[in-house]
Structure 1
Amino acid sequence: METMRVTANGIEQAVHTWGPLDGTPLLLVHGNCSSGLFWEPFVRTRLGGDDGPWRVVAPDLRGYGESETAPVDGTRGLGDFADDVAALLDAEGLFPAGTRPWVGAHSMGGGIVMQLAVDHPDRVAGLLLEAPLSPYGFGGTRDVDGTPTTEDYAGTGAGAVNPDFVARLAAKDRSGEEPTAPRTVLRTAYVSDASVLGDDEEAMLDTVLSTATGEDNYPGDAGASHNWPMSGPGTRGVTNAMSPKYFGVADALVGLEPKPPVEWVRGDADVIVSDTSLFDLAYLGQLGVVPGWPGAEACPPQPMVAQTRAVLERYAAAGGSFTETVLEGCGHSPHLERPAEFLAALERLAAQANSR
Structure 2
Amino acid sequence: MAEFPNVAVNMITTPDLAVCVREVVNRMDGRPVIFVHGNVSSSVFFLPVMAQLPPHVRPIAIDLRGFGGTDAAPVDATRGLAVFADDVWATVDALGLGAVDLVGWSMGGGVVLQMLLDRPAAVTSVTLVNPVSPFGFGGTTGLDGALVAPDGAGSGGGTANADFVAALRDDDDSSEGPTSPLGTLRSFYVAPGWDRENEGVFVRSMLSTSIGDDNYPGDSVGSDSWPGVAPGTRGVLNTMAPIYLDLSGIVDVTPKPPILWIRGELDQIVSDASLFDLAQLGLLGAVPGYPGVDKVPPQPMVGQTRSVLDAYANSGGEYTEVVVPGAGHTPHIEKPDIFLAALRIHLKV
| TM-score by shorter chain over 0.5 | yes
The whole-number CA distance in structure 2 between the counterparts of 1:191 and 1:177 is 14
> What are the equivalent positions in structure 2 for 1:301-316 lying under 5 Å apart?
301-316=298-313
Matching of residue 323 in structure 1 with residue 320 in structure 2: yes
The whole-number CA distance in structure 1 between the counterparts of 2:340 and 2:15 is 31
| Structure 1: gaps (5+ residues) | none
Partner of 2:175: 176
TM-score between the two structures when normalised by the length of structure 1:
0.94
Partner of 1:29: 36
Aligned length: 342
Q: Offset of 1:194 from its aligned partner? A: 5.9
CA change 1:300–1:339 in 2 (3 A) is same
| Structure 2: gaps (5+ residues) | 1-6
Partner of 1:229: 227
Deviation digits for residues 100-152 of structure 1, max 9, x if unmatched?
Answer: 12111100000000000100111110001000010000011110011101111
Aligned with residue 75 of structure 1, among 61, 66, 78: 78
RMSD: 1.2
Which SS does the other structure have where 1:62 is aligned?
coil
Partner of 2:156: 157
Q: Offset of 1:9 from its aligned partner? A: 3.7
Deviation digits for residues 141-166 of structure 1, max 9, x if unmatched?
Answer: 11001110111110100111101100
Partner of 1:63: 66
Which SS does the other structure have where 1:167 is aligned?
helix
User: Equivalent pairs: percent with the same residue?
Assistant: 47
The whole-number CA distance in structure 1 between the counterparts of 2:148 and 2:195 is 37
Which SS does the other structure have where 1:342 is aligned?
helix
Q: Offset of 1:98 from its aligned partner? A: 4.7
Are 1:110 and 1:131, in contact at CA under 8 Å, matched by a contact in 2? yes
Partner of 1:334: 331
Which SS does the other structure have where 1:31 is aligned?
coil
CA change 1:42–1:321 in 2 (3 A) is same
Are 2:20 and 2:70, in contact at CA under 8 Å, matched by a contact in 1? yes
Are 1:275 and 1:304, in contact at CA under 8 Å, matched by a contact in 2? yes
Partner of 1:137: 136
Worse-matched range after superposition: 282-291 or 18-27: 18-27
> What are the equivalent positions in structure 2 for 1:105-120 lying under 5 Å apart?
105-120=104-119
One-letter amino acid of the counterpart of residue 161, structure 1: A
Are 2:117 and 2:250, in contact at CA under 8 Å, matched by a contact in 1? yes
One-letter amino acid of the counterpart of residue 187, structure 1: R
Q: Offset of 1:65 from its aligned partner? A: 0.5
Partner of 2:3: none
Matching of residue 350 in structure 1 with residue 344 in structure 2: no
Partner of 1:121: 120
The whole-number CA distance in structure 2 between the counterparts of 1:192 and 1:310 is 26
Are 1:127 and 1:349, in contact at CA under 8 Å, matched by a contact in 2? no
TM-score between the two structures when normalised by the length of structure 2:
0.96
Worse-matched range after superposition: 171-180 or 66-75: 171-180
Are 2:78 and 2:234, in contact at CA under 8 Å, matched by a contact in 1? yes
The whole-number CA distance in structure 2 between the counterparts of 1:20 and 1:267 is 29
Matching of residue 244 in structure 1 with residue 242 in structure 2: yes
Which SS does the other structure have where 1:264 is aligned?
strand
Are 2:178 and 2:187, in contact at CA under 8 Å, matched by a contact in 1? no
Partner of 2:216: 218
Are 1:187 and 1:194, in contact at CA under 8 Å, matched by a contact in 2? no
Matching of residue 84 in structure 1 with residue 87 in structure 2: yes
